[in-house]
């Protein structure tokens, strides 16, 4: 019987966690990295001359769930050389069940969660994430129980470092992270939405060694620089005592101006992450590889750029026992890429550009030993990032609904008929109503004894051409009420006719 | 911006009057800036036809002069934050609650005429 061993031959290995930077082969077998010694003679050989081979990239900040998420989560994962990623705040303790029902085991890319302190998770939809009222209650015991029941799933607790209520929410987040023995992961961007508040600076004070600040080079208010472009002492103090600084490129949060000024003062990132989401994948972020390239433009060596997406995040997320290096015995998570030469343009989130003559281009990834060839266009497909309510036609997903799902939708329409909600407004989010809708959904799901995943999919497939995974209460809130109830009743009636 | 398909027209009960735009379709470079009454608009060429939109994205008032057309030229996407709107009726696609003003634009002889859709 032929062995399952594979030899990746001739590539330049960069494995910063083991201090390797030179041509070196790597072997894998049965889903694990293996020693080159004693390699079976019939091992498959893949010639990777001219390529680089590194530990599988870890993107600690992506959005595949929630109002920022993608229809095709692997398109920003293994298809782009990222073998593991962390959903940064999409779910909260009140929606982690929905998150798992929709996504657990559904991606080749290993998916971790960095839940938001708010029970519903990130709201986005352009709402300021600061309203302390949306924290509702913080169910500590529920957090502890969930964390214990899902060992290794949660990698940090995310908070938004802005508040109209002083520093309290920041400190609550830090307290929760301490209880769960997880790093605090603090978002310091988008203060342009809430001028006059300086709560970002409290993050630098409360964070301890190992906590992580993301969006370090954002160009909005409350940044890391003072008015003269100098790194603020409170920021430098945090770095000096071991607080980690993460890129989180995002849709608003990477500025060449800030990054270049910080760079000139030797203020470098500890981790590179993309913050890929619906609103930046078609530009300017594109991919983790593109964000790494931006840092090479700033002057970072290729070896350091690789370190910031391999051993550094593995160490920060306390997962060096399962990734971050090519140590024999670890899961065979491997990224292969080229560095192309040419005339390229790199754009920040303020639409400023820089020319560069190099570009990191993923070629393939191995996930637990399975080879996945890169497909950099897949994430760009409009169906992947443009969430569209099919309000003028019946989506294909409706045809896939089972009898049980149709009955569930009929019952849900009956429940929702007693609840009023207004046309969606960008001025105020009716947060309480989204909770009411979520609660109604879960009540009907339990009454109908339908699996949570089936119930969630029934709702998304009824209204969307392409299934996205997001908080069901928020999703219902964004639908026109009359239209939503009408379509639920209509599809339920077809089931009654069949019966 | 250019493309093949035309946009579906929304049909309000009463339509405002057509107004002549202050641009020459023969010489103008599209997307072109124009005025419709008090509205300052951007006129897009879409296939053989035209469409008008307000000049700035309602999200953060960024200019739409370098926006992208999406979905077979039925939608416009602001390049700043990828907010997408339907050209037929201005309805937000991926950013609920926002609305873009859109304008029907037609050519009559050597003139372009426009009227608001929403």
Q: What is the pLDDT of residue A160?
A: 85
Show residues of chain B in contact with A278, CB under 8 Å.
82, 94
Show residues of chain B in contact with A125, CB under 8 Å.
95-97
Q: What is the pLDDT of residue B3?
A: 40
- Give residue A231's region: left, alpha or beta (phi > 0; psi -120 to 50): beta
Q: Do B93 and A386 touch (CB under 8 A)?
A: yes
Show residues of chain A in contact with B68, CB under 8 Å.
282
B16-38 average pLDDT score: 90
A382 in contact with chain B, both atoms CB, cutoff 8 A: yes
Q: What is the pLDDT of residue B11?
A: 54
Q: Do B93 and A278 touch (CB under 8 A)?
A: no
Phi, psi for residue A454 in degrees, rounded to 5:
-65, -40
CA distance A470 to A484: 17
DSSP for A272-286 reads ----B-TTTTTTT--
Q: What is the pLDDT of residue B9?
A: 52
Partner residue facing B81 (CB), from A251, A388, A426: A251
Distance from the B24 Cα atom to the nearest Cα atom in chain A, whole angstroms: 31
Show residues of chain A in contact with B84, CB under 8 Å.
386
What lies within 8 Å, CB to CB, of A394 at 6+ separation is none
Q: What is the pLDDT of residue A420?
A: 96
Q: What is the pLDDT of residue A169?
A: 81
When mean pLDDT is compared over A431-435, A452-456, B12-16, B47-51, the highest value belongs to A452-456
In chain B, beta strands by DSSP E: 19-20, 32-36, 39-46, 49-54, 68-70, 75-77, 84-86, 102-108, 111-116
As a whole number of Å, the CA-based R_g of chain A is 23
B51 has which bridge partners? B44, B104
B10 in contact with chain A, both atoms CB, cutoff 8 A: no
Burial class (CB in 10 A: 0-12, 13-18, 19+), A164: middle
Q: Do A386 and B83 touch (CB under 8 A)?
A: no
Distance from the A349 Cα atom to the nearest Cα atom in chain B, whole angstroms: 7
Q: Do B59 and A126 touch (CB under 8 A)?
A: yes
CA distance A418 to A421: 10
Q: Do B83 and A279 touch (CB under 8 A)?
A: yes
B10/B67: higher pLDDT: B67
Q: Do B71 and A351 touch (CB under 8 A)?
A: no
Partner residue facing A351 (CB), from B71, B80, B82: B80
Q: What is the pLDDT of residue B118?
A: 86
| pTM of structure | 0.94
> Of A487, A478, A434, which is closest to residue B92 (Cα–Cα)?
A478
| Residue of chain B nearest A429, judged by CA positions | B97
Distance from the A425 Cα atom to the nearest Cα atom in chain B, whole angstroms: 5
pLDDT value at B78 more than 60: yes
| Residue of chain A nearest B93, judged by CA positions | A388
Distance from the A9 Cα atom to the nearest Cα atom in chain B, whole angstroms: 41
Assembly ipTM? 0.87
For A:46-85, CB contacts with B below 8 A are: none
Q: Do B71 and A386 touch (CB under 8 A)?
A: yes
Using DSSP's 3-state secondary structure scheme, residue A481 falls into helix
Q: What is the pLDDT of residue A181?
A: 98
Q: What is the pLDDT of residue A281?
A: 97
pLDDT value at B39 more than 50: yes
B59 in contact with chain A, both atoms CB, cutoff 8 A: yes
The answer to whether residues A43 and A258 touch, using CB atoms and an 8 Å cutoff, is no
Q: What is the pLDDT of residue A167?
A: 80
* Residue spans of chain A under pLDDT 50: none
Q: What is the pLDDT of residue A193?
A: 57
Show residues of chain B in contact with A425, CB under 8 Å.
97
Show residues of chain A in contact with B82, CB under 8 Å.
251, 278-280, 282-283, 385
For B:70-99, CB contacts with A below 8 A are: 70-71, 77, 79-84, 93-98
Distance from the A316 Cα atom to the nearest Cα atom in chain B, whole angstroms: 30
| Residue of chain B nearest A390, judged by CA positions | B93
Q: Do B82 and A388 touch (CB under 8 A)?
A: no
What lies within 8 Å, CB to CB, of A37 at 6+ separation is none
CA distance A113 to A99: 9
Burial class (CB in 10 A: 0-12, 13-18, 19+), A426: middle
Q: What is the pLDDT of residue B1?
A: 44
Q: What is the pLDDT of residue A150?
A: 98
Show residues of chain B in contact with A478, CB under 8 Å.
96
């Amino acid at each position: 019987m032929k062995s399952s061993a594979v030899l990746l031959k001739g590539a330049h290995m960069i494995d910063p966690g083991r201090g390797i930077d030179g041509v070196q082969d790597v072997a894998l077998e049965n889903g694990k990295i293996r020693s080159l010694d004693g390699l079976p003679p019939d091992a498959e050989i893949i010639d990777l001359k001219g390529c680089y081979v590194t530990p599988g990239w870890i993107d600690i900040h992506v959005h595949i769930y929630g109002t920022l998420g993608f229809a095709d989560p692997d398109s920003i994962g293994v298809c782009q050389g990222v073998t593991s990623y962390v959903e940064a705040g999409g779910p909260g303790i009140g929606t982690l069940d929905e998150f798992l029902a929709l996504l657990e085991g559904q991606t080749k890319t290993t998916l971790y969660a960095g839940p938001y302190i708010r029970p519903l998770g990130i709201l986005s939809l352009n709402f300021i994430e600061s309203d302390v009222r949306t924290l509702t209650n913080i169910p500590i015991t529920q957090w502890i129980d969930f964390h214990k029941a899902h060992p290794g799933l949660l990698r940090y607790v995310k908070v938004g470092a802005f508040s109209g209520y002083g520093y309290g929410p920041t400190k609550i987040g830090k307290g929760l992270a301490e209880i769960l023995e997880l790093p605090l992961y603090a978002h310091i961007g988008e203060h342009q939405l809430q001028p006059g508040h300086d709560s970002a600076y409290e993050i630098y004070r409360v964070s301890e060694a190992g906590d992580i600040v993301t969006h370090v080079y954002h160009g909005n208010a409350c940044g890391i620089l003072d008015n003269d472009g100098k790194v603020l002492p409170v920021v430098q103090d945090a770095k000096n005592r071991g607080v980690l600084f993460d890129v989180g490129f995002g849709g608003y949060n990477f500025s060449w101006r800030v990054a270049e000024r910080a760079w000139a003062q030797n203020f470098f990132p500890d981790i590179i992450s993309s913050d890929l989401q619906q609103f930046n994948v078609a530009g300017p972020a594109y991919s983790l590889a593109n964000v790494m390239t931006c840092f090479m433009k700033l002057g970072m060596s290729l070896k350091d750029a690789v370190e910031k997406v391999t051993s550094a995040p593995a160490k920060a997320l306390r997962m060096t026992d399962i990734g971050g290096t090519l140590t024999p015995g670890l899961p065979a998570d491997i990224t292969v890429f080229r560095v192309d030469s040419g005339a390229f343009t790199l754009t920040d989130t303020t639409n400023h550009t820089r020319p560069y003559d190099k570009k990191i281009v993923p070629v393939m990834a191995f996930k637990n030993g399975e080879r996945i060839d890169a497909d950099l266009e897949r994430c760009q497909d409009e169906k992947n990032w443009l969430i569209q309510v099919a309000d003028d036609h019946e989506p294909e997903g409706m045809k896939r609904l089972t009898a049980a799902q149709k009955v569930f939708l009929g019952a849900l329409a009956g429940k929702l008929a007693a609840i009023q909600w207004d046309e969606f407004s960008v001025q105020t989010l009716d947060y309480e109503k989204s909770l009411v809708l979520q609660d109604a959904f879960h009540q009907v799901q339990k009454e109908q004894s339908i699996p949570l995943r089936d119930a969630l999919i029934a709702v998304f497939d009824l209204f969307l051409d392409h299934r996205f995974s997001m908080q069901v209460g928020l999703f219902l809130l964004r639908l026109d009420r009359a239209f939503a109830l009408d379509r639920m009743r209509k599809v339920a009636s077809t089931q009654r006719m069949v019966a | 911006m250019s493309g093949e398909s035309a946009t579906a027209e929304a049909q309000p009960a009463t339509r405002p009057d057509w107004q002549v735009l202050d641009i020459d379709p023969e010489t103008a470079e599209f997307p072109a800036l124009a005025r419709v009454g008090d509205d300052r608009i951007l006129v897009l060429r879409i296939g053989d036809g035209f469409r008008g939109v307000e000049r700035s994205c309602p999200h953060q008032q960024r200019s739409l002069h370098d926006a992208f057309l999406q979905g077979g030229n039925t939608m416009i996407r602001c390049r700043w934050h990828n907010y997408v709107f339907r050209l037929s009726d201005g309805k937000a696609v991926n950013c609920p609650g926002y609305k873009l003003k859109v304008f029907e634009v037609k050519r009559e002889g050597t003139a372009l005429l426009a009227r608001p859709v929403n």
